[in-house]
Amino acid sequence: MIGLAFEIQDSYCRKILSLDKSNPNGKDIELKIKYCNIDVSSIGVVSYAFCYIGILTGPYFK
């Protein structure tokens, strides 16, 4: 569950950074948002938490 929390927090921080238009790495952040961010539903969290394979593989949805 710690890995899942990290992935959600990392995605949230990228979205916040993308709102800052003065950031020189704007294009890089946009690409990371497109290819690295996750959008997790509540059913996805429950499935990960209680599914045996989720324990072995981790929360990497993409």
pLDDT tens-place string over residues 11-62: 898 888 888 878 788 788 888 888 888 888 898 888 877 776 656 666 665 5
The DSSP 8-state label assigned to residue 25 in this structure reads T
Residue with the bigger pLDDT between 1 and 32: it is 32
Residue with the bigger pLDDT between 48 and 8: it is 8
Going from N- to C-terminal start, the domains of the chain cover 2-57
Phi, psi of 42 (to 5 degrees): -65, -35
Q: What is the pLDDT of residue 29?
A: 85
pTM of the model: 0.67
Q: What is the pLDDT of residue 18?
A: 86
